[in-house]
A and B are shown apart, each in its own frame.
Chain A
Amino acid sequence: MTELLKVAMPKGRIYKQASQLFRAAGLAIPEDLDDSRRLIIPAPEAGLEFIMAKPVDIPTYVEYGVADIGVVGKDVMMEEGKDVYELLDLGIARCRMSVIALPDWKPVIHPRVATKYPKVASQYFRERGQQVEVIKLNGSIELAPLIGLADRIVDMVETGQTLRENGLVELEVMFQITSRLIANRVSYRLKNEAIQALCDRLAKVIPAPKGD
């Protein structure tokens, strides 16, 4: 029996699109992975075993080699900075990382930026010669400018709906973000044929970027 390729899949938002992509590539993934409480789900017909994980943890699983490959957003990749192969842009969960503020925002003397991505944000502002205090938050980032914790935030924007509802505007787009297929350094060599075959199948069904 050949060894199953261990795939770390993100629970939540990205999962649906990722699993659609895998199915479009002809890989038999059980339908209800995300709803099930099981964390390890074998799919032997596809030669895969899925590990359901929190998105921010996926690069860690892959770096340590407990998962051979994984699906993860570029935002998490940038923030976590793990030593893994980034093999494929899956073109799904397309959104952008932006600097966001209230419409009447003006530069302040002691700028404070709230974000889930402190490393990415610090580096971004440093590279632009701006000294800002970065405040790490774990959720509801949009709250920060509304209640005066920070004058700006760095967050992911998909449709802009949440921003509009909270009366916030995008000041600048920092990065375009999509999900990526990543691989462990050792697995990439030792299980190369299986990984390459999977890449090739996925590459054929990746959605093209919408022109804008």
Chain B
Amino acid sequence: MSKPKGFEKPVGVRDYLPHAVSRLRWIEHKVLDCMQRWGYEQIITPTMEFYDTVGVASATSDQRLFKLLNQRGTTIVLRSDMTAPIARVVGSLLKDQPFPIRLSYHGNVFRAFEEEAGRDAEFFQTGVELIGDPSPEADAEVIALAIASLKAAGVHSFKVAVGHVGFLNALFEESLPGQSHVQQELKDCLLQRDHVGYRHILRSLPLDEGLRDELEDILRLRGGQEVCEQALAMSRSQRARAALQHLCEIWDVLSAYGVQDHVLIDLTMIGDFSYYTGMTFEGYAANLGFPLASGGRYDNLLAQFGRPAPATGFAIKTTRVLEVMEEEPPEREKTLILYTPDRRVEALAEAEKLREAGKIAVTESVPDPAALDAWLGEWERQGRQVFTHRGVRYHERIVFGSRKGGAAR
């Protein structure tokens, strides 16, 4: 590659200009505040972690981890999510804190260079982890909190699809006993969303017709609570039934939260099988081609950090919320204070007064009263309450040093 030009930056990373930052900060504030009101306390962990600990434990595949070497030649990763670092903290610094532990976070995470937009190399995530509670109540709590968080962030038309890894695992185990590579192929097809390949494999297997139809029909298992009942009717295995029961209970709790309108059950909704162990979910907004939030139960992760515990959580991709938020953060009013040097003390005192009252004040010194008058004339020509000065919008102006004397507004 040729030497980059001065304005270039690596593929997949972004600059956020003030307008975007104010929206991003507003979302972050609203969402973290919502999480805090549910009892989740915010935690900050480092950007860099060891590959051999957090890197290996994370749900991100190896080739998508952003790896560096430190001076000693140890492999370091830029965190690819916040879940593995939090598991490390819960297994070490917080090892004496009793369960359940409720933590929230907001931070930037990294994925090794992706070539196209929609897949950033660095993006923001805001999320929670609920650690030490295996119950459907806990799963429903994080789903309900995800819904509340999206609403707090100003997203109103969205759906959350909930599935359960345990159901498919058990169903395949039951239907195709001992054929673990076939099970794996079927799961890979579902993971790659390849329904054609899934049906193709099923049709190539010597299965009886009833079973094949059943396995094909799971591609259609989605909807409300009735889906759980349909699936219960077709599975005999203990583990599949237990998974479905768990899902039914989650649905009941979500109904009690009153959020079931936002939820649909989808038994083909599966996260990464090697990482998630139970319920998984994704949040989708209208007019955005990519999921907005994702989460699920991961009961095996904490053991890798020496404190085995069930855990469940989710992350919102904050940078995507920017694209679909239906509310604008309230604009803070800005005051411009213009003064001639002889009135500096008064002008700066006025600015200080405004800032103490929580307002935004910008000061500018002009050489003489004539220059002041020129600006006043310019603003009058703009003829609006809100005016623009040197490219910035102001709601109010205070002038010290006009020929007319005194503070003129």
A residues whose Cβ falls under 8 Å from a Cβ of B: 63-66, 83-89, 180, 184-187, 189-190, 192, 196
- Which 5 interchain pairs have the tightest Cβ spacing? A65-B289, A85-B193, A186-B284, A64-B289, A86-B194
Do A63 and B220 contact each other (CB < 8 Å), given the known contacts A189-B266, A190-B284? no
CA A184 to CA B197, docked complex, whole Å: 17
CB of B222 within 8 Å of the partner chain: yes
What residue in chain B is nearest A89 (Cβ atoms)? B196
Which residues of chain A come closer than 8 Å to B266, judged between CB atoms?
Answer: 189
Which residues of chain A come closer than 8 Å to B199, judged between CB atoms?
Answer: 89
Q: Out of A85, A186, A196, which one reaches B289, CB within 8 Å?
A: A186
Can you offer 28 A-B residue contacts whose CB atoms are under 8 A?
A: A63-B118, A63-B289, A64-B118, A65-B287, A65-B288, A66-B289, A86-B195, A86-B197, A87-B195, A88-B196, A89-B199, A89-B200, A184-B289, A185-B193, A185-B284, A186-B284, A186-B288, A186-B289, A186-B290, A186-B291, A187-B289, A189-B159, A189-B266, A189-B284, A190-B159, A190-B284, A190-B286, A192-B222
Shortest distance from the beta carbon of B194 to any chain A beta carbon, whole Å: 5
Interface residues of B in 128-184 (CB under 8 A from A): 159, 161
Shortest distance from the beta carbon of B96 to any chain A beta carbon, whole Å: 42
CA A86 to CA B193, docked complex, whole Å: 6
A189, B195: Cβ atoms closer than 8 Å: no
Shortest distance from the beta carbon of B396 to any chain A beta carbon, whole Å: 43
CB of B13 within 8 Å of the partner chain: no
CA A101 to CA B331, docked complex, whole Å: 67
CB of B232 within 8 Å of the partner chain: no
Q: Out of A65, A86, A89, A192, which one reaches B290, CB within 8 Å?
A: A65
What residue in chain B is nearest A182 (Cβ atoms)? B193
Q: How many A-B residue pairs have CB under 8 A?
A: 51
Interface size class of B (residues with CB under 8 A): 20 to 34
CB of B264 within 8 Å of the partner chain: yes
Which residues of chain B come closer than 8 Å to A65, judged between CB atoms?
Answer: 287-290
A185, B159: Cβ atoms closer than 8 Å: no
Which residues of chain B come closer than 8 Å to A180, judged between CB atoms?
Answer: 196
Interface residues of B in 194-214 (CB under 8 A from A): 194-197, 199-200
Which residues of chain A come closer than 8 Å to B288, judged between CB atoms?
Answer: 65, 186
Q: Out of B193, B222, B264, which one reaches A83, CB within 8 Å?
A: B193
Shortest distance from the beta carbon of B124 to any chain A beta carbon, whole Å: 20
Shortest distance from the beta carbon of B385 to any chain A beta carbon, whole Å: 39
CA A187 to CA B193, docked complex, whole Å: 13
Q: Out of A88, A189, A196, which one reaches B220, CB within 8 Å?
A: A196
Which residues of chain A come closer than 8 Å to B195, judged between CB atoms?
Answer: 85-88
Shortest distance from the beta carbon of B34 to any chain A beta carbon, whole Å: 23
Among A84, A85, A190, A192, chain B packs the most CB atoms within 10 A around the CB of A190
What residue in chain A is nearest B292 (Cβ atoms)? A186
CA A196 to CA B268, docked complex, whole Å: 14
Interface contacts beyond A86-B193, A86-B195, A88-B196: sample of 10 additional A-B pairs, CB < 8 Å, sorted by A: A65-B287, A65-B288, A66-B289, A85-B195, A184-B289, A185-B290, A186-B289, A186-B290, A190-B159, A190-B286
Which residues of chain A come closer than 8 Å to B290, judged between CB atoms?
Answer: 65, 185-186
Shortest distance from the beta carbon of A62 to any chain B beta carbon, whole Å: 8
